[in-house]
Amino acid sequence: MSTDRPLLVTMGDAAGIGPEIVVRAFERGALAGALVLGDAAVLRRAGAPMIAQLDTPADLHAVPPGCLPLLQPAGLPPGLAELPWGRVDARAGAAAARCIEEAVRRVRAGEAAAVVTAPIHKEALAAAGVPFPGHTEMLQHLARGADGTLPDVRMMLANDELRVVLVTIHLALRRAIEALSFDAVLATLRIAERALRGMLGRKSRIAVAGLNPHAGEGGLFGDEELRIIGPAVQAAAAEGIDAQGPFAPDTVFMRARRGAFDVVVAMTHDHGLIPVKYLGVERGVNVTLGLPFVRTSPDHGTAFDIAGQGRADPASLLAALEAARQLAARGV
């Protein structure tokens, strides 16, 4: 990184694989220049050998070799290390949210270069009374301006073969379709172009996937492409953005994977994320675009079915750490 400020890594849900993959990443040397926000007892249960507890990210330089650097936020619920593996628990949700809040506070204060978040469980967040359906919405709220204005953020999932940016995220499909608008699509294209230009060092080639089969087939299978998506693409092109489409969703991802485009903008969560995850969750990275700081995460969830069994693969977290370092160095 071009800065000596560290990465902040949140531990995720205490009952899921987040703490395990964080410890595995530490064992592989991937946490160099990073410190973890979490609960010491939880990380010991996940296999951390020795832990050095810090008061501030600036103390990272003083951590002895072989010690996992930890900043334990105030206000974590007690008894987290005694929670059963693989079960939804409000205490785990509250702890995960508290770690995210502290990470955002620190990075916005200039104490860190980026935030990397281990997986959280949406039901645990809800059980804890956290009013956000996922990381993206929570981070958007925490990044609001002094006047209360929320940044316009989007989710991008990427691996070395495909990048996808979503117009809508964690909404029921019916609500997602209702939420589509000219403004939302155009804003997504602007955000994608700005972020990809920073990542690639050049104008990006954006493909826009339609919503309906065959991109509506001229209105035969739906008219969102004619009323909303197409006009937004044209408006973006008029601004100098290299956006094309809308294309049939069942083929555009293959074209992008073969190099015709740098990124695909998709209208709904599963339209866009299934193609990326099919290529392998172990290589995918989730990047939140539009925040005033860099944030990445693995592209998988808490994997309650294997939590605590020593089987969790840290590959996606390793990719998220490397992506955060690169993005912070480029000032994206």
pLDDT in tens, 240-265: 999 999 999 999 999 999 999 999 99
On whether both 324 and 236 belong to a single domain, the answer is: no
Last residue of a domain, one of 240, 257, 279: 279
| Structure tokens, 301 | 């969830």
**How far are the Cα atoms of 71, 89, 99, 122, 321 from residue 13, in angstroms, in the given order?**
16, 9, 10, 10, 18
Q: What is the pLDDT of residue 133?
A: 87
| Structure tokens, 307 | 């939590």
- Token pair 């691996």 is found at 159
On whether both 143 and 204 belong to a single domain, the answer is: no
Q: What is the pLDDT of residue 283?
A: 77
On whether both 238 and 326 belong to a single domain, the answer is: no
On whether both 166 and 200 belong to a single domain, the answer is: yes
Residue 216 lies inside a defined structural domain of this protein = yes
On whether both 147 and 61 belong to a single domain, the answer is: yes
Last residue of a domain, one of 279, 307, 324: 279
Residue 83 lies inside a defined structural domain of this protein = yes
On whether both 2 and 136 belong to a single domain, the answer is: yes
On whether both 146 and 192 belong to a single domain, the answer is: no
Residue 285 lies inside a defined structural domain of this protein = no
- Token pair 């490397």 is found at 322
Radius of gyration, CA atoms only, the chain? 20
Task: Give the global pTM.
Answer: 0.92
DSSP letter (8 states) at residue 219: G
Contacts of 147 (CB under 8 A, 6+ apart): none
CATH number of the domain to which 109 belongs: 3.40.718.10
49-93 pLDDT per residue, tens = 899 999 999 999 999 999 999 999 999 999 999 999 999 999 999
Q: Report the side by side order of strands in the sheet with 50-53.
A: 50-53, 67-71, 34-37, 7-10, 114-117, 294-298, 285-289, 154-158, 163-166, 263-266, 206-209, 243-247
What residues make up the domain containing 326?
A: 1-151+292-332
On whether both 173 and 317 belong to a single domain, the answer is: no
On whether both 255 and 298 belong to a single domain, the answer is: no
Q: How many domains does the chain have?
A: 2
Residue 286 lies inside a defined structural domain of this protein = no
Residue 133 lies inside a defined structural domain of this protein = yes
On whether both 138 and 24 belong to a single domain, the answer is: yes
On whether both 186 and 238 belong to a single domain, the answer is: yes
Please list the ranges in the chain whose pLDDT falls under 70.
1-3, 281
On whether both 220 and 325 belong to a single domain, the answer is: no
Residue 53 lies inside a defined structural domain of this protein = yes
Residue 134 lies inside a defined structural domain of this protein = yes
Residue 164 lies inside a defined structural domain of this protein = yes
